[in-house]
Amino acid sequence: MSIDAAQHTRGESTFVDDLPESADLLHGALFSSPIAHGKLCSVDCSAAEGMDGVQRVFLAADVPGENQIGAIVPDEPLFADGEVHHVGQVIALVVADTPEIARAARDRISAEIEELEPIVCPRDAQRRGHLIVPSRSLQRGSAEQLAAAFESCTTVVAGSVEIGGQEHLYLETQAALAIPLEGGRLRIHAGTQGPTAVQRVASRVLDLPMSAIEVEVRRLGGGFGGKEDQATPWATFAALAALALGRSVKVVLQREEDMVFTGKRHPYQADWRMGLDADGKIQAYEATLFQNAGASADLSPAILERSMFHATNSYNVPHARITAHSCRTNLPPFTAFRGFGGPQGMFVIESALARAAEELDVPCEQLQALNLLDEDDAFAYGQRTENCHARRSFTEVAQLHDLPKLRAAVDAFNAKSARHKRGLAVMPVCFGISFTNTMMNQAGALVHIYSDGSVHVATGAVEMGQGVSTKLRNIAALGLRCDAQRVTIAATSTTTVANTSPTAASSGADLNGMAVQIACASLRQRLDALDSALAWDELVATAHMQRVHLSAGAHYATPSIHYDKDREHGAPFAYHVYGAAIVEASVDCLRGTYSVDAVKIVHDAGRSLAPLIDRGQVEGALAQGIGWLTLEDLVFDERGRLLSKALATYKAPDVHAMPSDVQVKFLEDVDNPAAVLGSKGIGEPPLMYGIGAYFAIREAARAFRKAGQSGRSSEHVDLLHAPLTPERLLLYLHGK
């Protein structure tokens, strides 16, 4: 069980907005652009400044250092300056005695904005040359070989898809509290996955050394990638005001502000072409990805890279070319979201396979099974598979649940039923673990054993509900050979472990866990040197008496990973996670409603560090994946305004959206030499099982269309776009 579970249940766990408030606390509210693209001519703050209880209004000119927060590309001002590039871009910060006064004052600010034409479509942006970074192309085999492979194929299919974005909907909205300390220093309590990122950006904006800024994170009420980079501005606003006013300042976004101001999962568009030989083997695959990056880079270039890497999912594709454009539009900067571009890349090849299966009139799972990765197969980025469980997990899930029988049952049902149809899809997943940016794959730990035998573990890992603290505690207890109950996990702080990567890329437990293991091993060695058979508490007390150093720090850097961007070649991942899911759905074809009935998963979790937590991660990720492709419809209008900006207009998956039958089996007897104690990262990969829900529903709907076109059973109907909402499904079922 999670070490936080009891506290959470009792309502005792604290989040940023629960921290004790000092008497001098002030509150911030943000005035942002109502216009997606325009010239910012003037801002009138006089009415706001004149209000009782308003302390100050901050604008771009009030930034003491650089008005710049872009981490990968310096293209994102903290405050809009001269121009606005998306709706919700912050123009001014109001600081007042209460949150109510701050918001009322914010509502009295006005800006004169000369509207310019917004771009909302990534293809438009690409056509006009508005790219975040130069486009990239990843290739397996030469261009000539690819062309020849297409020539030799007996089946070639091609198409286009559009994939929607996704709102993170973490329960705790973006929040930060900045406290001025003596000597011009600051402490920031931030709801961030990346305390060091907040520290670095605040230092740049405030023109202070990083050592003058402490960032502390107790836990997050969910992050899901939405706080990997995008927790930074709110913390920086709070810090700026706290430094200027010498008082504590809190900034907490309301739900609608959070939905409008912050970036989400990237919408993508893609063109693809796939060639198969007479045996059904994929010989050639080509995809062009158009990533809607929004108005500034944020993490888009890294996300684009992962989309490319995962564009062939679990398949061995001998000739491939993946071209990817990161397109600058006038929407909020899209950002990390569980899967980090991988899901979009995988959705495209699954669309191609589904279409190929229709063309060949065979069940898609037959084509999938034929093309799975085996040991020592190559990915398009050059790395080869090692300890590959793609085929094993696919075969196990098929055997465990008698896939041929499930398939026959679906076909039999559809033959008899006119209005209700069923569909089935298998979704294999192969996901690389490591930050694709090799430099980021490092972590630190600091472990203290106190003289009474209790243990304090500090790392750079942020607890966001994923259970990393529980895993770290288990690793420490094993390493020290003490009872897990003696181990406490510290709040994450830049003062205990420095220069940390964000907790992301499903590698939080991997990287920080290794550092903890190393620190504990050196402590244990010191205790073992006492050569005593004493029990833990006495052993520690004795060690202290004998002046043994009972603290240890350690650093871990993932060995042997590398990637050469110029050659688009390397081995960026420490290892891959594999699995497969069978998804069954049924559709009421009169009403366009559907249900996802069953999801049966076989997943490779390695040797789990906490089996119950890993099961929860699989189920939670699955729910997010199903929601992304079926219910969650992120809608912007042509002027770049978010229409789905409340829970009344944005349908998130609830318990009813989850299949009543979810079965998760972990592969048994699997080891992983590349991660701590043989474990595997688990946070992101299972999200992609949700892709199967889309294809299962789509298959049911196609069965209905086919039945309506008597005799012409293999007639091609266009692929649907995602998400497959009931509205979209109804149009497909009854449209022309």
For the annotated catalytic residues, the residue numbers are 684
Compare residues 8 and 562 and give the one whose CB is closer to ligand MTE: 8
Would the CA dihedral through 65, 70, 73, 76 be positive or negative? negative
Closest CA to 443 of 608, 196, 617: 196
Distance CA 500, CA 140 (A): 34
Residue 336 lies near ligand MOS (rule: CB under 6 A):
yes
Pick what 306 binds: ligand MTE, ligand LUZ, ligand MOS, none; C-beta below 5 to 8 Å, kind-dependent. ligand LUZ
- Residue 454 half-sphere exposure toward CB, CA atoms < 13 A: 5
C-alpha angle 411-417-423 in degrees, rounded to nearest 5: 40
Residue 340 lies near ligand LUZ (rule: CB under 6 A):
yes
Residue 505 lies near ligand LUZ (rule: CB under 6 A):
yes
Distance CA 484, CA 473 (A): 6
Residue 514 lies near ligand LUZ (rule: CB under 6 A):
no
Closest CA to 561 of 606, 503, 505: 505
Which of 30, 217, 320, 504 is close enough to bind ligand LUZ by CB under 6 A?
504
Compare residues 45 and 440 and give the one whose CB is closer to ligand LUZ: 440
Enumerate residues 176-215 that contact ligand MOS by CB under 6 A.
193
Q: How far is CA 81 from CA 70, 74, 84, 215, in A?
A: 14, 14, 7, 27
Compare residues 170 and 594 and give the one whose CB is closer to ligand MOS: 170
Which helix H or strand E contains 621, and what residues bound it? helix 611-630
Q: How far is CA 583 from CA 22, 406, 427, 482, 503, in A?
A: 52, 10, 8, 43, 30
How many residues touch ligand MOS under the rule CB under 6 A: the total is: 11
Residue 325 lies near ligand LUZ (rule: CB under 6 A):
no
Q: How far does Cα 591 stand from its chain's mean position?
A: 33
Closest CA to 688 of 425, 507, 355, 466: 425
In 10 A of CB 361, how many CB atoms? 8
Compare residues 336 and 468 and give the one whose CB is closer to ligand LUZ: 336
Q: Are 681 and 573 in contact (CB under 8 A)?
A: no
- Residue 193 half-sphere exposure toward CB, CA atoms < 13 A: 28
Distance CA 599, CA 243 (A): 52
Compare residues 172 and 358 and give the one whose CB is closer to ligand MTE: 172
Least spacing, CB of residue 329 vs ligand MTE, in Å:
23
- Cα radius of gyration rounded to whole Å, the chain: 26
DSSP three-state, residue 120? coil
Residue 436 lies near ligand LUZ (rule: CB under 6 A):
yes
Binding part of the chain for ligand MOS, among 323-331, 337-345, 547-555, 556-564 by CB under 6 A, reads: 337-345
Residue 344 lies near ligand MOS (rule: CB under 6 A):
no
Enumerate residues 273-292 that contact ligand LUZ by CB under 6 A.
none
Distance CA 554, CA 545 (A): 24
Binding part of the chain for ligand LUZ, among 429-437, 481-489, 520-528, 722-730 by CB under 6 A, reads: 429-437
Binding part of the chain for ligand MOS, among 148-156, 331-339, 470-478, 609-617 by CB under 6 A, reads: 331-339
Pick what 468 binds: ligand MTE, ligand LUZ, ligand MOS, none; C-beta below 5 to 8 Å, kind-dependent. ligand MTE
Compare residues 221 and 343 and give the one whose CB is closer to ligand LUZ: 343
Which of 340, 381, 556, 689 is close enough to bind ligand MOS by CB under 6 A?
340
Q: Are 606 and 675 in contact (CB under 8 A)?
A: yes
Residue 309 lies near ligand MOS (rule: CB under 6 A):
no
Q: How far is CA 354 from CA 398, 425, 726, 728, in A?
A: 18, 9, 20, 19
Under the phi-then-psi rule, with left for phi > 0, alpha for psi from -120 to 50, and beta for the rest, what region is 318?
A: alpha
In 10 A of CB 696, how many CB atoms? 30
Residue nearest to ligand LUZ as judged by C-beta position: 340
Residue 31 lies near ligand LUZ (rule: CB under 6 A):
no
Residue 132 lies near ligand LUZ (rule: CB under 6 A):
no
Compare residues 396 and 684 and give the one whose CB is closer to ligand MOS: 684
Pick what 16 binds: ligand MTE, ligand MOS, ligand LUZ, none; C-beta below 5 to 8 Å, kind-dependent. none
DSSP 389-410: -HHHHHHHHHHHTTHHHHHHHH
| Tokens 């009344």 found at | 648
Residue 224 lies near ligand LUZ (rule: CB under 6 A):
no
Residue 192 lies near ligand LUZ (rule: CB under 6 A):
no
Residue 264 lies near ligand MOS (rule: CB under 6 A):
no
In the chain, the N- to C-terminal Cα span, in Å, equals 52
Distance CA 194, CA 272 (A): 35
Q: How far is CA 447 from CA 207, 388, 479, 518, 547, in A?
A: 32, 35, 11, 10, 17
Q: Are 462 and 193 in contact (CB under 8 A)?
A: yes
Compare residues 290 and 337 and give the one whose CB is closer to ligand MOS: 337
Pick what 436 binds: ligand LUZ, ligand MOS, ligand MTE, none; C-beta below 5 to 8 Å, kind-dependent. ligand LUZ
Distance CA 238, CA 242 (A): 6
Residue 228 lies near ligand MOS (rule: CB under 6 A):
yes
Q: How far is CA 606 from CA 391, 578, 679, 689, in A?
A: 16, 10, 5, 18
Pick what 302 binds: ligand MOS, ligand LUZ, ligand MTE, none; C-beta below 5 to 8 Å, kind-dependent. ligand LUZ
Residue 337 lies near ligand MOS (rule: CB under 6 A):
yes
Compare residues 502 and 659 and give the one whose CB is closer to ligand LUZ: 502
Instruction: Show the DSSP H helices in 297-401 as ranges.
Output: 300-309, 342-360, 364-370, 390-400
Residue 336 lies near ligand LUZ (rule: CB under 6 A):
yes
Enumerate residues 124-183 that contact ligand MOS by CB under 6 A.
none
Pick what 466 binds: ligand MOS, ligand MTE, ligand LUZ, none; C-beta below 5 to 8 Å, kind-dependent. ligand MTE
Compare residues 292 and 441 and give the one whose CB is closer to ligand MTE: 441
Compare residues 222 and 333 and give the one whose CB is closer to ligand MTE: 222
Which of 264, 338, 603, 645 is close enough to bind ligand MOS by CB under 6 A?
338
Which of 38, 194, 221, 225 is close enough to bind ligand MOS by CB under 6 A?
225
Compare residues 180 and 690 and give the one whose CB is closer to ligand LUZ: 690
Least spacing, CB of residue 306 vs ligand LUZ, in Å:
5
Pairing assessment for the beta strands 455-459 and 442-449 based on DSSP bridges = antiparallel
Enumerate residues 674-693 that contact ligand MOS by CB under 6 A.
684
Pattern 487-526, ligand MOS, x by CB under 6 A: -----------------xx---------------------
* Residues lying near ligand MTE in the complex (CB under 6 A): 222-225, 338, 464-466, 468, 503-509, 617, 620, 681, 683-684
Q: Count the residues in the chain.
A: 736
Binding part of the chain for ligand LUZ, among 18-26, 311-319, 326-334, 431-439 by CB under 6 A, reads: 431-439
Least spacing, CB of residue 722 vs ligand MOS, in Å:
19
Instruction: Show the DSSP H helices in 162-299 as ranges.
Output: 195-206, 232-245, 255-261
Least spacing, CB of residue 436 vs ligand LUZ, in Å:
4
Compare residues 306 and 486 and give the one whose CB is closer to ligand LUZ: 306
Pick what 383 binds: ligand LUZ, ligand MOS, ligand MTE, none; C-beta below 5 to 8 Å, kind-dependent. none
What is the contact surface with ligand MOS in residues (CB under 6 A)?
A: 193, 223, 225, 228, 336-338, 340, 504-505, 684
Residues that bind ligand LUZ (CB under 6 A): 299, 302, 306, 336, 340, 435-437, 440, 504-505
